[in-house]
Copies of this chain bind each other. A is one copy, B any other.
Amino acid sequence: MRHTHLSTTARLEAFSDGVIAVIITIMVLELKVPHQDGIAGLYAVIPTLAIYAVSFAFTGIYWINHHHLVHRTEEADELVLYANLFFLFCLSLLPFLTSYVLEKKMDSFSVALYTSSMVFTGFSFLLLRLAIARRLRLAGKLEIQDTSVQHKHLYSLLTYLVAIPVAFYHPHLALGLCAFVTIIWITPTAGVKPREEDAPFPRP
């Protein structure tokens, strides 16, 4: 009876995967077929495709980080479940804000809103990280400090914070900064690649 409220993370992962899978995919419904025929239509749709790609990458990178974060703990308490729901809520606003930016033709305010939501989602992810750290502490486990990933989080957050004021002067540059964050994440960190290659045997 004691641990009624603790549950394995299996279903938390399954539900989060489902929600993130829907978020990442329904954004494609915002892509509207252009009125122009031929190559002109393709040109017209390129900015839309570019923002869709940024939002897709943003969501995908969060999925990978969520994956690593939840992997650390084997059980979730109520606080972790609610922090996870709050994170998913913030992330679920992304398709809305993506279409906001598109319908407002990337004006300053809509791009600032889009960038602010990225800061906000980062903040909700930090809350989830803290809730999981608390759970690990209560379970008497050591929290893994993955400094290279934490640095990436910090740099991303700083870039988004810089992008907000930039949006009011040069919205395209602000979107470019958001796209640049993707490159931070895809770039392998110095420590990761060697760690794998000199691994004497694969993890079972």
Cα distance A204–B107 in the bound complex, in angstroms: 53
Residue A23 lies at the interface, judged by CB distance under 8 Å to chain B? yes
- Would B202 and A140 count as touching, CB distance under 8 A? yes
Chain A 164-204 interface mask (CB, 8 Å, partner B; 1/0): 00000000000000000000001010001001110101110
Residues 57-116 (chain A) with a chain B CB within 8 angstroms: 57, 60, 63-64, 67-68, 71, 74-75, 77-79, 81-82, 85, 88-89, 92-93, 95-96, 99-100, 103-104, 107, 109, 113
- Would B56 and A92 count as touching, CB distance under 8 A? yes
Tell me, rounded to whole Å, the shortest Cβ–Cβ distance linking A77 to chain B.
Answer: 6
Cα distance A10–B184 in the bound complex, in angstroms: 26
Cα distance A3–B204 in the bound complex, in angstroms: 11
Tell me, rounded to whole Å, the shortest Cβ–Cβ distance linking A94 to chain B.
Answer: 9
Which residue in B15, B99, B104, B196 is a CB contact (below 8 Å) of A63?
B15
- Would B196 and A11 count as touching, CB distance under 8 A? no
**A37 with B186, Cβ < 8 A, contacts A2-B195, A25-B19 known:** no
**A37 with B81, Cβ < 8 A, contacts A15-B63, A89-B56, A140-B202 known:** no
Interface of A is mostly: helix
Which one of A28-36, A122-130, A153-161 contacts B? Answer: A28-36
Cα distance A14–B2 in the bound complex, in angstroms: 26
For A56, the chain B residues whose CB sits under 8 A away are 85, 89, 92
- Would B21 and A100 count as touching, CB distance under 8 A? no
Tell me, rounded to whole Å, the shortest Cβ–Cβ distance linking A114 to chain B.
Answer: 12
Cα distance A60–B56 in the bound complex, in angstroms: 21
Tell me, rounded to whole Å, the shortest Cβ–Cβ distance linking A62 to chain B.
Answer: 11
What would 15 more interface pairs be, CB under 8 Å, given A60-B88, A64-B78?
A: A3-B196, A4-B144, A5-B192, A5-B196, A7-B71, A11-B13, A25-B92, A26-B28, A26-B29, A33-B99, A33-B104, A38-B109, A39-B109, A64-B82, A75-B203
